[in-house]
Structure 1
Amino acid sequence: MTHSVPESVPRPAAAPRRKPGYRFNLVGIIGLSVLLFWAVIAVIAPWVIPYPVGEIVDYDALGPMTAKFWLGTDYLGRDILSRVLMGARYTVGISLASVTLACSLGVTLGMIAAVSGGWLDTLLSRFLDAMNSIPSKLFGLVVVAAVGSSLPVLVLTMAVIYVPGSFRFARALAVNINTMDFVTAARIRGERTPYLILSEILPNILGPVLADLGLRFVFTVLLLSGLSFLGLGVQPPYADWGAMVRENIGGLAFGAPAVIFPCVAIATLTISVNLLIDNLPQKIRDRSDA
């Protein structure tokens, strides 16, 4: 025998579905897809390039696009497709290492200065302000020309260039968080500076810091390409995208693909990062509403 539930008795409401923590719109998905594509190419490039990057494979210099050479050849007859794919390893790898080092150091020093205050804050701020007053390209040119161009020198030079800006950005955010009640309560109950930085300050500035890291990655890519265009970047026979433009710019009228495709690679990488950054604030708002 079955018993029916009277219609007057309210049924229990279904548990609300939890909204996903992160949401990307179409623009963000496109930016993320292009960025992941170049990241994957940077990792697998040595195994997918059709020809060695330094090998002359065509005696027709600045050759056109053909079935054998999809993107044509450069001024020495080397395969452009192989050099573009391999150049992703240097452009993405050097830029990512530089910006990660710069933001890690700058954000850490900025939070320490904000929490500690006093003479330490003043000393760090004045020193890094002085560093920030030096034009970035001029500093890079002087250091690389004096020490020599190598991968460690490029990474360290560009990291030093972007530490002051990252410090100022993180310190401005951390100073605001440091005055809030939950940080004051943590300080009153005896928590030390490392706890305040890692547990109270960093989680509340992480979103803007990630957006700043992406923006500085774009600046680093452009700075590296500029240094390489001046002959102070990755040295032959290897090349990043900026060096490929410099190598072939004299033959632009005869072999445009040798110049256009490295430029397109730089543009797609930087634009995709910008598209992803533009989507990041909406992503953070969606997470806070979840």
Structure 2
Amino acid sequence: MKTARGYLLPVTLFAVPLLLALIGPFFASGDTTKDVPFDANGRLGTDFVGRDVWNEVLLGGRSLILVAVAATICTYVVAVPIGLIAGMTRSRGLDEVLMRPLDLLLAVPSMLMLLLLVSIAPQSVWLLVGVVALINLPDVIRISRAAALSLSARPAVEAMRLQGESRIRIGLGYVARSMRRTLAADVGTRFTGATYLIASASFLGVGISPQASDWAAMVDRNRGGLFVQPWAVVVPALLLVMMAVGANLVFDRMLRGTAR
């Protein structure tokens, strides 16, 4: 019972924006009629061009969450195998070949890389997914490599080698499975980072269509009327914060539970 109560707040914080993003578009109105800008009448009033804020909230979360989830998955699908190979290899040359290009990526600020890559190509959701995954790639590879290095030095791995087990079996059957807790601890942080990176891109008007409904873009577009009609800014900003904080708390609770 105590454990269930411990999950209540994290799950609530994460589930509310997630469910709103996933099922909200089904309840959104297709009416594109525009009213008076920054009007306080109605559920949440209107935005800077007179659109219904509640309707924009229902429509604005799906693209953000789907892009963040897709970018996070792509990051781990690519980074974990590279980190595993780099951590288990006994060839210093191969380790250098795999790890040194990451230093170049780390030397470029994430927002600068995002602006450069997105600005030279047409706006595309999949391009944004790829760019966010690329930005997160070096950190996840380094974490995976460090975990693999530590695990591959264990006596159990040496015993498996002496028994004639293949590197693939050792890597996938023991090292990769033992890395799960380390990677699980990183997923929440990485998802949050991807969310804020995508939100930052929306603030700058890159990666999404200027006419698209998007929580992050709502904060940027409506900030001029914050003191006139605050709901157009406060509600989407609050949903972004709830999703980020909730994701980290959920993974933190899950790790505490498996550690017992």
TM-score of the superposed pair, with normalisation by structure 2: 0.92
Which of the residues 44, 48, 62 maps onto 2:38? Answer: 62
CA drift at 1:117: 3.3
- Determine the structure 2 residue equivalent to 1:256: 230
C-alpha spacing 1:115/1:139, structure 2 compared with 1 (3 Å)? same
- Contact 1:100/1:213 (<8 A) preserved: no
- Contact 2:18/2:243 (<8 A) preserved: no
- Determine the structure 2 residue equivalent to 1:285: 259
Which of the residues 33, 47, 54 maps onto 1:74? Answer: 47
Which of the residues 76, 92, 109 maps onto 1:103? Answer: 76
Q: Which amino acid aligns with 2:220?
A: R
Cα distance between partner residues in 2 of 1:108 and 1:29: 35
CA drift at 1:245: 1.1
Cα distance between partner residues in 1 of 2:215 and 2:22: 16
Cα distance between partner residues in 1 of 2:5 and 2:243: 17
Q: Which amino acid aligns with 2:67?
A: I
Q: Which amino acid aligns with 2:127?
A: V
Cα distance between partner residues in 1 of 2:248 and 2:195: 12
- Contact 2:17/2:242 (<8 A) preserved: no
Unaligned runs of 5+ in 2: none
- Determine the structure 2 residue equivalent to 1:44: 23
Query: Within the alignment, does 1:149 sit opposite 2:123 as a pair?
Result: yes
CA drift at 1:225: 0.7
Instruction: Tell me the matched-pair count.
Output: 259
Unaligned runs of 5+ in 1: 1-22
Q: Which amino acid aligns with 2:19?
A: V
Which of the residues 90, 103, 107 maps onto 1:129? Answer: 103
Output the aligned Cα RMSD. Answer: 1.9
- Contact 2:223/2:233 (<8 A) preserved: yes
TM-score of the superposed pair, with normalisation by structure 1: 0.83
| SS of 2:227 mapped into structure 1 | coil
| SS of 2:150 mapped into structure 1 | helix
CA drift at 1:131: 1.2
Question: Radius of gyration: which is bigger?
Answer: 1
Cα distance between partner residues in 2 of 1:284 and 1:277: 11
- Contact 1:113/1:124 (<8 A) preserved: yes
| SS of 2:222 mapped into structure 1 | helix
- Determine the structure 2 residue equivalent to 1:165: 139
Which of the residues 240, 245, 250 maps onto 2:214? Answer: 240
- Determine the structure 1 residue equivalent to 2:162: 188
C-alpha spacing 1:235/1:283, structure 2 compared with 1 (3 Å)? same
Moved segments of 4+, more than 4 Å: none
